[in-house]
A and B are shown apart, each in its own frame.
Chain A
Amino acid sequence: QVQLQESGPGLVKPSQTLSLTCTVSGGSISSGSHYWNWIRQPAGKGLEWIGRIYTNGHTNYNPSLKSRVTLSLDTSNSRFSLRLYSVTAADTAVYFCARAYSSGWDYFDYWGPGTLVTVSS
């Protein structure tokens, strides 16, 4: 059973960088049929996809966040990371990492429990 677990600071100051890591266990992070994602959810609101990274390191980002986001992959430690720059209060949310199955009509089959990140001074 694949498991994902987010980790990182729960509080970030405005204008600073939000950094989170997702550790994958119970399955290979190098599976060719899957890729790895970050999704966030502000309190009381819906889901917003942030970006994805493939096992070859290729990335795609939500156009609305593209200028402030970087994803990276550490296959030797089965983890991938998110960096969101120049954060504001609008970036306060629960951040989920999730695995997607790549099929053309991709879906998210495993999710981490999520971690709350608050942007505040």
Chain B
Amino acid sequence: SYMLTQPPSVSVAPGLTARITCGGNNIGSKRVHWYQQKPGQAPILVIYYDSDRPSGIPERFSGSNSGNTATLTISRVEAGDEADYYCQVWDLIGDHPLFGGGTKLAVL
């Protein structure tokens, strides 16, 4: 079955750029969505269809997807960006969603 691989953690200093990857076989042929989840809260959609931002999400959040890797990029990282981030795709064969294991973003 299809699997998504995320690094368990990423660390970045405030003001710098964080890149969180989501690996999958030929993931570039799929559309990837990203969610932010802060402790004790529900996930929030931050990127959909690889690179689109829902209203209310800062332009600092962007996404890309090509080959075997999708990437969520957070520019000018702030302390408030510290959270778990999950990628998600649709398993066309099983006809159900798949989530990556999540990446904890630590702002140093």
Contact = CB atoms under 8 A, between A and B. Distances in A.
B90 A105 contact: yes
Contact of A114 (B30, B42, B95, B96): B42
A75 to B, nearest CB: 23
A106 B86 contact: no
B83 to A, nearest CB: 13
B19 interface: no
A30 to B, nearest CB: 22
Interface size class of B (residues with CB under 8 A): 20 to 34
Interface string A89-121: 000000010101000111111011110000000
A49 B90 contact: no
Contact of A105 (B30, B86, B94): B30
Contacts, number: 54
A60 interface: yes
Given A62-B96, A104-B90, A109 B45 contact: yes
Interface in A27-79: 46-49, 60, 62-63
Interface size class of A (residues with CB under 8 A): 20 to 34
A109 B42 CA distance: 11
A105 B49 contact: yes
Contact of A60 (B42, B95, B100, B101): B95
B48 interface: yes
Nearest to A108: B45
A78 B11 CA distance: 42
Interface in B86-102: 86, 88-90, 94-97, 99-102
A108 B54 CA distance: 11
21 contacts: A46-B99, A49-B99, A62-B96, A63-B96, A96-B42, A96-B43, A98-B42, A100-B97, A105-B30, A105-B31, A105-B49, A106-B90, A108-B43, A108-B45, A108-B88, A108-B97, A109-B48, A112-B42, A113-B42, A114-B41, A114-B42
Interface of B: 30-31, 33, 35, 41-45, 48-49, 54, 86, 88-90, 94-97, 99-102
Complex A-B, nearest 4 residue pairs according to Cβ-Cβ distance, in ascending order: A105-B31, A111-B42, A107-B33, A47-B99
